[in-house]
């Protein structure tokens, strides 16, 4: 049977686009004998291989699990629509890349949920794998289905589909989960006992042990546990010191998005931009020293042959050794022609010296800055202060150093925003263009990237309403007309495409039904934006008799119980409230490396803080 299934898989691969997505076989792939291990994981990134394979979290967990003698971890991704059609036509359950075994044969399925618009793909994968979609329908024979990733800080809209969620960082807890799973299976106990043991692990949330009740008008009245011995609040998991970085990255055999290796130089951010989810949920700031990063890159280059490395962090220029680091990267790797990129550079901390280093490392190409707002008042509201003088000086230096194209990111739909604030974005673009033309000439290219604010859970923006699409459209139209006249390129998200994210990111458990309805009505690959899925979602809401506007356009009361209140990210709700109020007053908060604002992270994790010299934390 296995033989013929494999033959069938090989046959259908002739009929799909880019079959290399489904076959594995990459350099550094790890294939273990199924008889030699106790626990078999399948790590799943629920988008296509091209998007998911270079995900750094996936690479980390793959290495950590496979380093254990008694554990194996394989990979699977969402099949593209042509492959799905073939799988369904031939009744082939979705399989892993390494062994081509069906997902139902694994012990644990670990999904990565980096964003909300990936949820319907999870349901589609479970369906293609012939695994019951709802946790309540799964038996001891079915795999344990869990998830982790940045969207899991509010897992409520998909709580019915997962046995458990990892809240926070996975590097340590993933082995705890393996251990708990192993003992449970040896003891041959019911599935409930597995859930109970998991719920006792720090950073693991088992949603079925929590009950949510609602007021008649729809607000949450209470979230409480329904199981003794389960914590009232689930505190996220962190690794106090960033562990050794993976280096044996799998090298894809087919061209994929961001086809380079990534090395995480720093985790978390001390800046406190009020719209930024990553900046709030990934505290405290921890970094890897240059003395660790350089050998890591060397090892990874030797192991992969990659020609480009991205040094990842939320704010690269805040790394305490960034200048020295970029210099060392150049010294060590320029002969090997290793290209490197340094995303997320702050404007004001951005020294001339660093720019000199960068120019040498990556000549040509474009430069990107993210002022996010163009008036001083608006920058105070979002807490991304920036002096106009500094900004234009930086822009001038960029052109003087020879960059010929500059991309600027701005946000609209911010609280208290007026047309004056929007016009300031256009004027900034025009002024930057003038500076560029003076220094570079007519060929200078300016590109404005416009995003509209989607308030995220666990941020000071979590109480804010989303601006209505008409007002967003009006602002976009204004900017479009202005940029066209000025010869500036502009890209933006159409208001509709961000609606789904605004419904789901602050959703509650009632949305499980909506997600299910949407999947049943054919929604998938929602993140791709090309497929017009919004009408499906509107119908899915209507079918569940739920008003989507309740989630998007409503200003939340500060006293309201929020759907994610039982998830503790270490940053306290009181701090977020205070910061929200400061925002309304136009009051900025300095970088918290300068002074502590008692966000709560040290109360939650201070005890784990390593002694000086054993791992850097950004907290004062």
Residue 366 interacts with other proteins (CB under 8 A): yes or no? no
Judged by CB, which is closer to other proteins: 20, or 529? 20
Beta carbon nearer to other proteins, 307 or 477: 307
Cα–Cα distance, 8 to 15 (Å, whole number): 11
11 contacts other proteins (rule: CB under 8 A): yes
Q: Which residue, 297 or 604, is less far from other proteins as judged by CB?
A: 297
Q: Which of 70, 213, 221, 336 binds other proteins (CB under 8 A)?
A: 336
Q: List the 308-312 sheet strands across, edge first.
A: 261-264, 308-312, 339-341
Which of 465, 500, 467 lies closest to 151 in space, CA to CA? 500
Tokens of 443: 């060929």
Q: Does 307 bind other proteins (CB under 8 A)?
A: yes
Task: Select the span of 148-156, 247-255, 345-353, 584-592 touching other proteins (CB under 8 A).
Answer: 247-255
Q: Tell me, residue by residue from 337 to 356, as one string, x for binding to other proteins by CB under 8 A and - for no binding.
A: x-------------------
- Provide the phi-psi class of 203: left if phi over 0, else alpha when psi is between -120 and 50, else beta: left
Smallest distance, Å, CB 409 to other proteins? Answer: 27
Q: Kindly tell me which of 255 and 470 has the beta carbon lying closer to other proteins.
A: 255
Q: Which is nearer to other proteins, 20 or 132 (CB)?
A: 20
Is the Cβ–Cβ distance between 168 and 149 less than 8 Å?
no
Stretch of 22-30, 76-84, 154-162, 401-409 lying at the interface with other proteins (CB under 8 A): 22-30
- Position 83 contacts other proteins (CB under 8 A): no
Contact pick of 228, 364, 441, 613 for other proteins (by CB under 8 A): 364
What is the footprint of other proteins within residues 24-63 (CB under 8 A)? 24-27
Distance CA(194)–CA(212), nearest Å, equals 22
296/303 Cα distance (integer angstroms):
10
- Least distance from other proteins to the Cβ atom of residue 449, Å: 26
Distance between CA atoms of residues 142 and 109, nearest Å: 10
State the minimum distance, in angstroms, from the CB of residue 24 to other proteins. Answer: 6
User: Is the separation of the CB atoms in 523 and 120 below 8 Å?
Assistant: yes
Instruction: Work out the angle at residue 234's Cα, subtended by the Cα atoms of residues 230 and 566, and round it to the nearest 5 degrees.
Output: 100
Among 169, 161, 229, smallest CA distance to 193 is for 229
Task: Give the chain's length.
Answer: 620
- Contact status: 253 vs other proteins (CB under 8 A): yes
Cα separation values, 570 from 314, 457, 541, 598, Å: 18, 13, 33, 11
Which among 295-303, 314-322, 346-354, 571-579 is the span making contact with other proteins, rule CB under 8 A? 295-303
Single out the residue of 4, 14, 35, 532 in contact with other proteins (rule: CB under 8 A): 14
> Smallest distance, Å, CB 64 to other proteins?
23
> C-beta of 338: minimal distance to other proteins in Å?
9
Listing DSSP states for 588-604 in one string gives: ----TTTS----SHHHH
Residues that bind other proteins (CB under 8 A): 11-15, 19-20, 22-27, 251, 253-255, 301-307, 336-337, 364
């Amino acid at each position: 049977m296995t033989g013929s299934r494999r033959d069938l898989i090989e046959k259908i691969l002739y009929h799909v686009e880019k079959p290399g997505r489904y076959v594995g076989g990459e350099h550094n792939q790890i294939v273990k004998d199924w008889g030699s291990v106790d626990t078999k994981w399948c790590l799943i990134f629920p988008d296509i291989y091209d998007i998911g394979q270079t995900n750094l979290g996936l690479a980390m967990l793959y290495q950590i699990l496979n380093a254990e003698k008694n554990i194996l971890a394989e990979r699977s991704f969402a099949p593209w629509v042509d492959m799905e059609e073939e799988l369904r036509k031939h009744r082939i359950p979705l399989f892993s890349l390494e062994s081509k075994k069906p997902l139902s044969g694994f012990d644990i399925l670990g999904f990565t949920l980096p964003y909300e618009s990936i949820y319907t793909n999870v349901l589609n994968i479970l369906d293609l794998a012939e695994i019951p979609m709802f946790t309540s329908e799964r038996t001891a024979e079915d795999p344990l289905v869990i998830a982790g990733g940045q969207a899991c800080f509010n897992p409520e809209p998909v709580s019915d589909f997962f046995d458990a969620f990892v809240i926070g960082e996975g590097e340590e807890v993933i082995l705890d989960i393996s251990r708990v799973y192993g003992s449970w299976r040896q003891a041959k106990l019911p599935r409930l006992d597995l859930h109970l043991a998991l719920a006792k692990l720090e950073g693991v949330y088992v949603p079925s042990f929590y009950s949510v009740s609602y007021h008649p008008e729809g607000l949450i009245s209470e979230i409480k546990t329904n199981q003794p011995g389960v914590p009232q609040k689930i505190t996220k998991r962190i690794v106090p010191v960033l562990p050794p970085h993976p280096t044996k990255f799998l090298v894809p055999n087919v061209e994929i998005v961001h086809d380079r290796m990534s090395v995480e130089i720093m985790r978390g951010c001390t800046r406190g931009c009020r719209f930024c989810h990553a900046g709030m949920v990934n505290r405290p700031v921890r970094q890897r020293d240059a003395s660790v990063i350089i050998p890591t890159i060397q090892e990874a280059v030797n192991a992969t042959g990659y020609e480009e490395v991205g040094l990842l962090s939320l704010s690269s220029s805040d790394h305490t050794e960034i200048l020295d680091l970029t210099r060392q990267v150049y010294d060590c790797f320029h002969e090997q022609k290793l290209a490197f990129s340094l995303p997320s550079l702050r404007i004001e901390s951005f020294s001339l010296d660093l720019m000199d280093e960068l120019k040498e490392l990556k000549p040509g190409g474009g430069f990107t800055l993210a002022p996010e707002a163009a008036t001083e008042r608006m920058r105070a509201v979002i807490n991304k202060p920036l002096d106009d003088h500094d900004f234009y000086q930086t822009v001038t230096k960029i052109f003087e150093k020879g960059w010929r194209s500059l991309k600027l990111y701005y946000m609209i739909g911010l609280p208290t925003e007026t047309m004056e604030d929007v016009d300031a974005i256009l004027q900034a673009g025009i002024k930057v263009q003038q500076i560029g033309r003076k220094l570079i000439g007519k060929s200078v290219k300016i590109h404005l990237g416009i995003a509209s604010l989607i308030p995220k859970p666990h941020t000071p923006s979590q109480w804010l309403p989303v601006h209505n699409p008409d007002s967003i459209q009006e602002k976009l139209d204004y900017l479009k007309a202005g940029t066209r006249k000025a010869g500036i390129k502009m890209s933006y998200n159409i208001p509709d495409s961000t609606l789904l994210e605004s419904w789901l990111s602050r959703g509650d458990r009632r949305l499980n039904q909506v997600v299910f309805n949407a999947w049943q009505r054919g929604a998938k690959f929602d993140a791709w934006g090309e497929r017009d899925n919004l009408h499906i979602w509107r119908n899915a809401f209507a079918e569940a008799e739920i008003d989507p506007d309740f989630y998007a356009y409503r200003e939340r009361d500060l006293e309201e119980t929020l759907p994610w209140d039982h998830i503790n990210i270490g940053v306290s709700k009181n701090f977020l409230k205070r910061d929200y109020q400061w925002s309304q007053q136009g009051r900025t908060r300095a970088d918290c490396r300068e002074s502590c604002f008692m966000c709560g992270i040290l109360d939650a994790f201070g005890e784990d803080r390593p002694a000086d010299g054993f791992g850097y934390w950004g907290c004062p």
